Amino acid sequence: MSILLITAAYLDFFCGTVNIYTIVIKQSCLLLVYISPIVYYMITKDKQQRWWAVFGCIWVVTISLRTKNEIHDYNETVCKAKFGKTFNQQRRNRGIAVIPQDWQITSSLGSEIDWKGKDQIIGHTDKSVYIDSACEDAFERDNYELKPIRGISRWISIGRVVTKGKGADTDSYAFEFGANSRNITRQQADSILASEKITKDY
């Protein structure tokens, strides 16, 4: 039993969530530790061991829930990393704006990851990546800041619904002027960016 506890502690403190197998082995060691008094009580029917068995049952449930949460967090972390900068070549192949190497994640909540450049005012300023439950790239939105006019901010927002399989992706383009917004075509978006001398990266 001591060996199991030492193994679990070592994996928890020194290995963390290196991979899914580390999580499973660590939690399995803990489960075996707390299942032992339950099994002992079932075999011996020793009343003095009853509370240890109850305690063991509580910890078995707790560890099971913790294992589920750790696996979920691990899968979410791996999934989000999959569609970061390492996915840029696939973006180029599909005509989606890439994530520049100097950009950083500013927010990562649920299925959405937000990327933003440093001190960038004009041009491609940020990207939002949305991942579905199957760990697939579902939607990406890119914003391009334009020069403000009379202090009013302007930008172009490009959305891409990523189609699974061989189907074509669905694009949407919007021109934002202050609080006003209107849909535009790709040709109009290209023309606006060109007139603002902003390099098109999609």
Angle ∠(111,113,114) on CA atoms, nearest 5: 145
Query: Alpha-carbon distance 128 to 83, whole Å?
Result: 11
Higher-confidence residue of 32 and 117: namely: 117
Predicted pLDDT at 8: 40
Phi, psi of 129 (to 5 degrees): -115, 130
The residues with which 173 forms a beta bridge, in sequence order, are 158, 184
Residues contacting 181, CB < 8 A, separation 6+: 174, 175
* Residue 174: pLDDT over 70: yes
Taking the C-alpha atoms of residue 23 and residue 189, their distance in angstroms, rounded to an integer, is 48
Render pLDDT for 62-103 as a digit per residue (tens, 0 to 9).
666 666 666 556 656 777 788 999 999 999 999 999 999 999
pLDDT in tens, 33-65: 656 655 555 556 666 666 565 665 666 666 666
Of the candidates 36, 1, 8, 3, the residue with the CA atom closest to the CA atom of residue 23: 8
CB burial of residue 177 (10 Å; 0-12, 13-18, 19+): middle
Contact 178, 101 (CB under 8 A): no
Domain boundaries, given as residue ranges, for the chain: 2-82, 87-195
Residue with tokens 């959405």: 112
Contact 186, 173 (CB under 8 A): yes
* 14 pLDDT more than 50: no
In terms of pTM, does the model score above 0.85?
A: no
